[in-house]
Structure 1
Amino acid sequence: MYFSRVEIDFNNRRKIKDLTHLGAYHNWVEHCFETEFQDNYRSRHLWRLDTIQDNNGDEHQFLLLVSEHKPNLEKLARYGIASSAQVKSYDPFLSYLQQGMRAQFRLTANPTYSVTQSGKRGKVYPHITSDQQLQWLGSRALKSGFKFVSKEYLAINDAALNLNNVDIVSRDFPILHKRGNRTVKLSRVSFEGQLEITDLSTFKNTLVNGLGREKAYGMGLLTIIPE
């Protein structure tokens, strides 16, 4: 597995003029793996957009990427600031993780629910309120190999959520262009907080395969900083 990142050159409007919707970012990511097209093999490429603040308080926006295969560094740098593209093996970090380890986390996801119609799975709807979005995450925590820890580091065994231990740091509805000149808006929510690994194998699977829907469009990537 590989973990990659590149700082997007938003100060160069000519360079990034194509990045107007989620599909453009998806295409950028997919073209970093042209050998997969040649081999007729497609693996999952988890990615998200992240805003990182430097020591001076200035904000920089990055594309983060987790992939089974090593991306083409030149393709990854296409919309990035010169020399900012980095690719490294994710395996040493995954091997470092241990059962019971605590960490700060960040997750960008697409909290949704489906309405059953006539016994069949119906239309998918986004969760709108912050309470609904937090409950969505809480219902998936233990099944994803972790539980939440309060800021006082007291484990919440039932993975129940409240705003004291998990924060929603951003919410928006980015545009995705689809075939037939259709456009849809996807619900994108970023969460931050503290967690504890409860099932190491399941948790590693969550890190490399993501959590929730719309993974191809920048959702589902969970990252952590161990304490």
Structure 2
Amino acid sequence: MNDHPVIARIRLNPHSRDVQRDLRDATQMHRTLMRMVPDGLGDAPRHQAGLLYRLDETDTTSTLLAQAAQLDPARLPTGYGHIDIKSLTPMFSALRKGLAVRYRIVLNPAKRERLPLEQKDKRGRIVPLSGTDADQWWLRRATEAGLDLHVLTPTSMEPVRPRGHHASRMRHSLLRYDGTATVTDPHALHNAVIHGIGRGKPYGAGLLSLAPATTA
């Protein structure tokens, strides 16, 4: 995989039927975005392509961020939206220990249930986390990813449920975190940005965005 992926910022066209369909169905949105990555990537094409995405919505606009080693926006449906693509190389080059950053990430905080000893040969259910448990989960994962968090502001998002005959029946609870942090391990942070954080990556979770924090 390319060490320096690209990121596409897609300002979605609200009048596009393809956009309207994808906003209703996270499984379909994943399929649409997978059209932008190269063909022939084997049994785990999303992982091989390094595709991560996040939907940022305001009262008036919906913007889709999509990150991968390679992206071909010409393969999106006609009229899907206005697209800007840029390399993440400058951002990676700027990472250094002690750098103050702003961040945004949508996450699917979850843990696996512990089962009684008599069921030790089975695996517990994946249970979504909320409130303080979710905050602590993100604090731990951020530390592992090379970030010392100063502010973490959670925003609840609409949960997504995979669709289709072969889709998991599990609902994915999503939380968006915004805040500020200090870089403690640039190498770990580089890996976290490229590979994403946590579960639910096919459904819009895991993409970590960073920008230099402005000083007052």
TM-score normalised per structure 1: 0.80
Cα shift at 1:199: 0.5
Cα contact 2:18–2:77 (8 A) shared by 1? no
1:6 aligns with 2:7: no
Residues 23-102 of structure 1 mapped to structure 2, 5 A cutoff: 23-33=27-37, 35-37=38-40, 40=42, 42-51=48-57, 59-69=60-70, 71-76=71-76, 78=78, 80-81=80-81, 84-102=82-100
What percent identity do the matched residue pairs reach? 22
Q: Name the aligned partner's letter for residue 184 of structure 2.
A: T
More strand by share: 1
SS in 2 for 1:179: coil
Moved over 6 A (4+): none
| Partner Cα distance (1:115, 1:201) in 2 | 31
| Partner Cα distance (1:76, 1:90) in 2 | 21
| Partner Cα distance (1:113, 1:90) in 2 | 31
Where does residue 173 of structure 1 map in the other structure? 159
1:125 aligns with 2:123: no
Where does residue 179 of structure 2 map in the other structure? 193
Cα shift at 1:79: 5.7
Where does residue 139 of structure 2 map in the other structure? 138
| Partner Cα distance (2:66, 2:167) in 1 | 28
1:16 aligns with 2:2: no
Cα contact 2:159–2:173 (8 A) shared by 1? yes
TM-score normalised per structure 2: 0.84
| Partner Cα distance (1:191, 1:49) in 2 | 13
- Where does structure 1 lack aligned partners over 5 or more consecutive residues? 53-57, 150-164
Q: How many residues align?
A: 200
| Partner Cα distance (1:184, 1:61) in 2 | 25
- Where does structure 2 lack aligned partners over 5 or more consecutive residues? none
| Partner Cα distance (1:178, 1:14) in 2 | 19
Query: CA 1:121 to 1:102, structure 2 compared with 1: closer, same or farther past 3 Å?
Result: farther
Cα shift at 1:109: 0.6
Where does residue 203 of structure 1 map in the other structure? 189
| Partner Cα distance (1:64, 1:16) in 2 | 14
The Cα RMSD (Å) is 2.1
Cα contact 2:7–2:87 (8 A) shared by 1? yes
Q: Name the aligned partner's letter for residue 116 of structure 1.
A: R
Cα shift at 1:29: 1.1
| Partner Cα distance (1:205, 1:76) in 2 | 27
Query: CA 1:170 to 1:143, structure 2 compared with 1: closer, same or farther past 3 Å?
Result: same
Cα contact 2:16–2:80 (8 A) shared by 1? no
SS in 1 for 2:197: coil
Cα contact 1:105–1:192 (8 A) shared by 2? yes
| Partner Cα distance (1:46, 1:13) in 2 | 22
